[in-house]
Chains A and B, each alone.
Chain A
Amino acid sequence: MSGFDILFFVFAGFALVSAMGVVVSPNPVYSALSLVLTLFSVAGLFLLLQAEFLAVVQVLTYAGAILVLFVFIIMLLNLSDFELMEVRMGNLGKALLTLAAVVAFITLAFVVHLTRITGDPAVEGFGDISTLGREIFTHYVIPFEIAGVLLTVSLIGAVMLAKKNLTKE
């Protein structure tokens, strides 16, 4: 067992346990905070995969912006206790769903098992921010621009949707 392996199992374990927390915890605030932990663990896995830039961006956008936004909205709506509690589905439905999920997981895991990619071709400096930047600004310029437009549109859309008394002004 190398340090890499141990770190992998630590991060993967945290990611899965807290992802479970997101799904099962009855209080949305707890869900959001479990999601923070999941995202950090995934960022840790990115680091192990030599994707430093992505790991940092993951923490910056998800934990720094998206998750704070989630908690902010939960606080803003100030949901009553009744709203926080869920209307739960019946036991049969839940059992069937869990079964389906397990089956899906096993199927996908089996497909993963069939992958024949082994070894470690990554070289020193792989995933360097300059390499990534060059790729984005050469081959992926147009998707990059579209992503920019998408962000602008969603920003304006979000403001317009959430704005109060739009007609009065």
Chain B
Amino acid sequence: MVELPHFLIVSVALFVLGFVGVILRRNLIVVLMSIELMLNGVNLSFVAFSRYLGDIQGQVAGFFVIVLAAAEAAVGLAIIILIFRRRGSVQTTRLTDLKDEIHAA
């Protein structure tokens, strides 16, 4: 019988996968996608709690998270375009201007 914990575990798994993506990937676009994944994991737990507590406010929170994700994606992608225009690359490994000269390989 599927209950609240099942939904929560899926939500946790999505969040952790997104987190791994943010850390592991070197492509800025994929990093942004992983952030979307994390937001979705959180959203799922909001909605699941909303249903099993019988409180609509969880869905309101989910709604705001979706709005936020839209804004974040728009600005994030604009920044990525800008970075690509300046550097010709969207790899995080190439964006090391602030690194100390001595340690920069």
Contacts and interface: CB of A to CB of B under 8 A. Distances in A.
Q: A contacts B directly in the complex (CB < 8 Å)?
A: yes
B95 to A, nearest CB: 12
Contact of B53 (A117, A132, A159): A117
Interface string B66-88: 11111111110111111010000
A24 to B, nearest CB: 9
A32 B53 contact: no
Dominant secondary structure at the A interface = helix
Interface of A: 2, 4-5, 8-9, 12, 15-16, 19-20, 22-23, 28, 31-32, 35, 38-39, 42, 45-46, 49-51, 53-54, 57-58, 61-62, 65-66, 69-70, 73-74, 76-77, 79, 83-84, 86-89, 94, 97-98, 101, 104-105, 108-109, 112-113, 115, 117-123, 126-127, 131-132, 135-136, 139-140, 143, 147, 150-151, 153-155, 157-159, 161-162
25 contacts: A12-B6, A19-B13, A23-B21, A46-B44, A49-B48, A51-B47, A51-B59, A57-B63, A61-B66, A61-B70, A73-B80, A77-B81, A86-B27, A98-B20, A109-B12, A112-B9, A112-B12, A118-B3, A121-B53, A123-B54, A127-B51, A132-B60, A135-B59, A139-B57, A150-B68
